[in-house]
Chain A
Amino acid sequence: AQSVTQLGSHVSVSEGALVLLRCNYSSSVPPYLFWYVQYPNQGLQLLLKYTSAATLVKGINGFEAEFKKSETSFHLTKPSAHMSDAAEYFCAVSDGGATNKLIFGTGTLLAVQP
């Protein structure tokens, strides 16, 4: 069965600092991994996804993530945080079956300090 663990329910960084949000997965099949962002009172927006084409995945708003099979990780990074990055971030893994069910991590709330 697939699962996702996000380390750190709250992360605070200064504007301009590196953003690192951690995600580890467990999957019995080659995983398909996603990062979604949720701004206050809004739905989820896809940041990026890993579909086995390339281990370093670039997404929107300057975010990227690297798939590391040996570490079962898919951490999200951004070189320089902006105030507008403050949001909840979710890592998710697809179950890989016909239903494409997404299993979400518990989320990480990113705060950006001026």
Chain B
Amino acid sequence: DTAVSQTPKYLVTQMGNDKSIKCEQNLGHDTMYWYKQDSKKFLKIMFSYNNKELIINETVPNRFSPKSPDKAHLNLHINSLELGDSAVYFCASSHSGRPQYEQYFGPGTRLTVT
């Protein structure tokens, strides 16, 4: 069984379009995250939700809007896509409250904006 899944795996779109990436976890975790990995493989946190409440909102353009309909799902919607949005986006999940709990990552969504 897949622990953290993301759809789609690949996303190719044109500048100016709006797109969404979906994430689901079946681990019973209460916290979910979105990370962006750029072309140099650098990973940076974007957002985090705990029990459907936004708890991390890094310096991300407001064209990016996360939504968590329930604890097991965290979606990322991106408006007016730009070339610089091209990256691999990873979803992750963990238990909350204790920093020693590791995060489990999904397989990633490779977004290419042309």
Residues of A within 8 A of B (CB): 32, 34, 36, 38, 41-46, 49, 51-52, 88, 90, 94-104, 106-107, 109
Contact = CB atoms under 8 A, between A and B. Distances in A.
A43 B42 contact: no
A49 B102 contact: yes
A43 B108 CA distance: 6
B45 A49 contact: no
B66 interface: no
Contacts of A107: 41-43
Contact of A99 (B41, B56, B100): B56
Contact of A43 (B44, B45, B102, B107): B107
Given A49-B102, A104-B42, 17 more contacts: A32-B100, A38-B41, A42-B107, A42-B108, A43-B4, A43-B106, A43-B108, A44-B105, A49-B100, A52-B100, A94-B99, A95-B99, A100-B48, A100-B96, A100-B98, A100-B99, A103-B45
Contacts of A106: 40-42
Interface in B18-68: 31, 33, 40-45, 48, 50, 55-56
A105 to B, nearest CB: 9
Given A97-B99, A99-B55, A100-B101, A43 B90 contact: yes
B94 interface: yes
B105 A100 contact: no
Contacts of A88: 41
B97 interface: yes
A43 B101 contact: no
Q: List the 6 shortest-distance A-B pairs measured between CB atoms, nearest first.
A: A51-B100, A94-B99, A43-B105, A44-B105, A104-B43, A43-B107
A20 B55 CA distance: 36
Nearest to A109: B41
B96 A98 contact: yes
Contacts of B40: 106
Interface in B69-107: 90, 92, 94, 96-107
